[in-house]
Amino acid sequence: MKTNVKSALRDYVAEPSSVAAPKACGVEVLAVPRRSAFDGVVKSIRVSNHALRYLTKRGFTVAEVEEAIRTARWQPAELERLNCRKDFPYGKEWNGKVYATKQVRPVFVEEATEIVVVTVYTYYF
């Protein structure tokens, strides 16, 4: 039986995290349970070194990435990846201008045992 990807993603429900976040080999592993839209398996979220290198430059936090993946609707992205968007109240200065909202958009891949965040884009408005 074929799975309708859009339907599976739309019907997906995240579960809250209660597990500590370990670090290994310079890669922060977020122990965030996330039930797969396809097989019902709870998976951890791993943020790649590439994404972590842009943390300061783009102004996002690992907690924001975690929350976006746990709570926002997943959508297909380029190169068979997924992404989601989450708005956060901001009300601070970024690059000399005050913005009311910060939007975090992680781009990630759902693998068999984990979700790997490839990169994270941040928008201010």
**For residues 66 and 46, is the Cβ–Cβ distance under 8 A?**
no
Domain boundaries, the chain: 5-124
Q: Degrees (nearest 5) of the Cα angle 114, 116, 121?
A: 150
pLDDT tens for the 125 residues of the chain, in order: 333 333 333 333 333 333 333 343 344 444 444 555 555 666 899 999 999 999 999 999 999 999 999 899 999 999 999 999 999 999 999 999 999 999 999 999 999 999 999 999 999 99
Pure H helices in 13-125? 49-53, 55-58, 62-71
Q: What whole-number distance in Å separates Cα of residue 103 and Cα of residue 60?
A: 9
Residue whose pair of structure tokens reads 């009300």 in the numeric block:
91
Read off the amino acid at residue 101. Answer: T
- Provide the pLDDT for residue 40: 63
Neighbours of 31 (CB within 10 A): 14
Q: Which two tokens stand for residue 26?
A: 């310079």
Which of 108, 49, 34 lies closest to 78 in space, CA to CA?
A: 108
Summarised one tens digit per residue, pLDDT across range 67-97 is 999 899 999 999 999 999 999 999 999 999 9
* Phi, psi (degrees; rounded to nearest 5) at 5: -60, -50
Claim: this prediction has a pTM higher than 0.85: no
